[in-house]
Amino acid sequence: MDWHIITSSKGGIGKTLLTLLLLAYYLENKRDASSLVIDLNGMNTDSAALLLYRKRGGKPVFLKKNTNGEYCLDTVESDTNEFEIYQTYSFSGVEAGKGDQIYYAVGYPSNPYVLHNPQSFANLLTGIKKEASNIQKNLGLTAPFEHIFIDTNYHFCNIFNQNANAHYTTYQAGGSLQEENITVWFLWVYRQLEKLTAERESREAKVVKSTATAMEACLKNNGCQSDGKSTPLKHVFSPAALVTSRAKEGSLTGSLKKLFDAVVGQYDYTVPELKKLAMLQPKENCISFEDWVKKLDIAYNTITDNNKEEHALLFLPILELAGGQQCPVNIIPLPVYQANLRQYTDKDRGDIVKSLRGMKIYQKYFSNLMEK
């Protein structure tokens, strides 16, 4: 199966939107297999709330742990259940009132306060894989699950270990997840870049770098190669993550000022620096986490040297310089701020997945990036 795990170092910067964009693409273009969305956002399960709004189909199924601590399927609701999973649907295409009904599944934790670590996360993936066929059949889905989307409130360091010798046996030869194709989507913010490029390397930076290295050594990804090795990491940059909370409105200039004005004025805006990255001819290979951080470090030092402007406001030119003339295919810029997506998690959006396909962020950029 293909696993898409959405992570970031900060909340509120678009993880749920990325999950919905991925789902919109796969439901439309990969109809020969079923999809499953698992929302691990605890108290704020926005993905599940949006996707299941007035569209819960039939009786749910449940995942619980047996006496050995392994996940198993149950069809009876009880206080020992860990997850509940429902059938739901969306419509294909873009035009309102038209399209085929496409069924898929959405699940979320029964107890929103449970947190995951590398071991428990690997156990969850193993349980989903083991029970995938039973979940599919009990929910009445016709095709086997092949596409799993996990919307998390975690940094990837929370759910993968920095030590390649620890907690990765499940993902390697002889392990239950050895054949699984895993992509970890990581939404960047300026503070993450700042910590990784600091002159004096902090312990946090060391953990992030060593965890990324371990993931690239131990997780399988068939579609993304870097110097002959696979990398599961895809690096996402979006308008929501561009302005640090420390920046003052009066100090904003250029694209950031225009973005701020668009947010306040509630109109759409395409960030030109991110658009340029998105339109570049991609390199055939992906880039490793280490090499990407090196590029960012060089760009950071070049741009900030003798520049008195607040460094947090230089995130865009740093990204533009690091992207180079050919942007690696696992660098994912999402250039568009769309006003009608503001606070979309608090609104009744009907079929949000179908709606996204008609929006500029999907039609002009995301779907094209997925085809590269």
How many Cβ atoms sit within 10 Å of the Cβ of residue 267?
A: 12
User: What pLDDT, on a 0 to 100 scale, did the predictor assign at position 245?
Assistant: 47
Confidence of residue 8 (pLDDT cuts 50, 70, 90): very high
Is 312 within 8 Å of 246 (Cβ atoms)? yes
Beta strands 229-230 and 81-91 are: unpaired
The pLDDT of residue 101 is: 93
Q: Looking at residue 362, what DSSP letter applies?
A: I
The pLDDT, as a whole number, for residue 98 is: 82
Query: pTM value?
Result: 0.93
For the stretch 120-163, pLDDT in tens is 999 999 999 999 999 999 999 999 999 999 999 999 999 999 99
Sheet containing 34-40: order of strands: 71-74, 57-65, 81-91, 101-109, 34-40, 145-152, 2-8, 181-187, 233-237, 331-333
pLDDT at 226: 67
| Residue 158 contacts residue 9 (beta carbons within 8 Å) | no
pLDDT of residue 223: 74
pLDDT of the residue at 166: 73
Half-sphere exposure of 219 (CA within 13 A, CB side): 29
Phi, psi of 234 (to 5 degrees): -120, 130
DSSP H/E element including 183: strand 181-187
Can you tell me the mean pLDDT for 209-236?
A: 87
Residue 79 has which token pair?
A: 């206080």
